[in-house]
Amino acid sequence: IVNALLEVSGIKVNIINSSDRTALHLAAQYGHEAIVNALLAVPDIKVNAIDVIDKTPLDLANFLSDSDDKTAIIEALRAKGAETKAELDSK
């Protein structure tokens, strides 16, 4: 379903919810590796979007319990230039 939605012309992949979270935040937060990878394939995805509690998708992925999915999600985010809020602030 996600891949079909991402093919819709004009889809706003960076739209935020009431917590300023994007689809990438939510996919990372809940450990959905396939969705994270699908979203990261979108050219204009904002990998360092910051939510209402100052968390990036990478920050949320770091809160996942240890698993292969967590590692894969973090590696995929990092490969696309994702950073934690602390890393962004230190620049």
Range of the domain at 49: 2-89
Does the structure show a pLDDT above 90 at 67?
A: no
Please give the tally of structural domains in the chain: 1
Distance CA(2)–CA(52), nearest Å, equals 25
CATH at 10? 1.25.40.20
Determine the pLDDT at residue 47. Answer: 98
Mean pLDDT of 55-83: 95
Distance CA(59)–CA(84), nearest Å, equals 5
Q: Tens digits of per-residue pLDDT, 5-40? A: 999 988 999 999 999 999 999 999 999 999 999 999
Distance CA(53)–CA(45), nearest Å, equals 20
Determine the pLDDT at residue 66. Answer: 85
Determine the pLDDT at residue 65. Answer: 85
